[in-house]
Amino acid sequence: MNSSTRIALCAALAFAVVTGPAASAFADAGSPAAGTSARATQGAGSLNSTALRQALAGLPDDDATAAVVRVAGQDGTWRGVGGVHDTETGREAIADGRFRAGSVTKVFTAAVVLQLVAEHRVGLDRPVQDYLKGLFPADRPPITVAQLLNHTSGIQPADGAGDSFADQYAHRFDSTTPRQLVASALSKPLEFTPGTQQDYLNINYTVLGLLIEKVTGTSYEHQVQRRILDPLHLRDTYFPGDDIRIRGAHNHGYQATADGLVDVTEWNASAGWAAGNIISSTADLERFTTALFGGKIVPRAQFRHMLEVPAGIPGAVQTMGMSRMVLPDGTVTYGKTGERYGYATGIGAILDDHGRIRRTLVYSVNSTDAKSKNGNARVLPIVQAWMS
């Protein structure tokens, strides 16, 4: 595989879900390496179960301690889990555990905003300054809601603890409020004129979280709960706020350092908020994305924006809430990835010519270097197996 294909696949790792019932048990999938549990179940169809099984074999390794995968669509279904729950006990990884889904949160945020658009409570082409009066400096040009959704706002990122793992680990228990982040970002000049470039940044979705609260008069978390989590019965999905723990069953997350693996399971992710603070499970994310691509969350008239990149911006791949990627063979994928230390997540789908889900994928990989710009070596084989 050439480098352009590899980059394209890694950029399109955000895939999602299945239309069939979730498997309640996992059958033995072969003879994994010592210390690894690779269990799977497959329905009828032409999925490459051998490649999927091989993608999970040999865990844990230097790249990941565990992985959970769910594949489905018109070609059948497949469920698999490999690796360990934690490195101390070496117990088998659990398939239905919760994890930090990172920027997959943005899909939930975009869905709520587009619901408000459908209700005529928010206008995509209206300046966000019309809703959040006094928040932006008076000399800033208008920034539309659409420009926040598709990352063409020009707002610069907020300052944080630092870019290195050591810096962030030292501040892992700090709490940060959305308004602190927005104040930091808006103290800087715009990176570019709104609508002329695309730069994927969390701050756009932090502002959208504040927009949701202003328009509805209730908290961002309440709106996601009422509009998405409760109707879809996503009982493993929640916002931890500044709670450092992952409630309920979960596999541990680790970061590789020069001194060995560091357990990063406990972390205050409040800075992520509407851009990256959600905790979920693969089963919940599967149900969510099936409903999303099935038109059951965002009305079709607004959902189309989640499939479109902004016109006239070279190299744009971000839609409203997701990304659109055309692979070298012409395949078009939609979805979202999320990375928190110890956890790499992806949801998304490939649609057929009629707009129906053709094949879907949800994965959670307990990456030992989740923030690597080169992606995780365990994710690429999962995506390749899913597409084969």
∠ CA 203-350-72, rounded to 5°: 110
The partner residues of 360 in beta bridges, in order of sequence, read 72, 349
Query: Which of 37, 49, 103, 280 is an active site residue?
Result: 103
323 catalytically annotated: no
Q: Which amino acid is at 19?
A: T
Write out the chain in H/E/C secondary structure. CCHHHHHHHHHCCCCCCCCCCCCCCCEECCCCCCCCCCEEEECCCCCCHHHHHHHHCCCCCCCEEEEEEEEEECCCCEEEEEEECCCCCCCECCCCCEEEEECCHHHHHHHHHHHHHHCCCCCCCCEHHHCCCCCCCCCCCCCEHHHHHCCCCCCCCCCCCCCCHHHHHHCCCCCCCHHHHHHHHHCCCCCCCCCCCCCCCHHHHHHHHHHHHHHHCCCHHHHHHHHHHHHHCCCCCECCCCCCCCCCCECCCEEEECCEEEECCCCCCCCCHHHHCEEECHHHHHHHHHHHHCCCCCCHHHHHHHHCCCCCCCCCCECCCCEEEECCCCCEEEEEEEEECCEEEEEEEEECCCCCEEEEEEEEEEECCCCCCCCCCCHHHHHHHHHC
Tokens representing residue 341 in the block? 């230390």
Catalytic center residues = 103
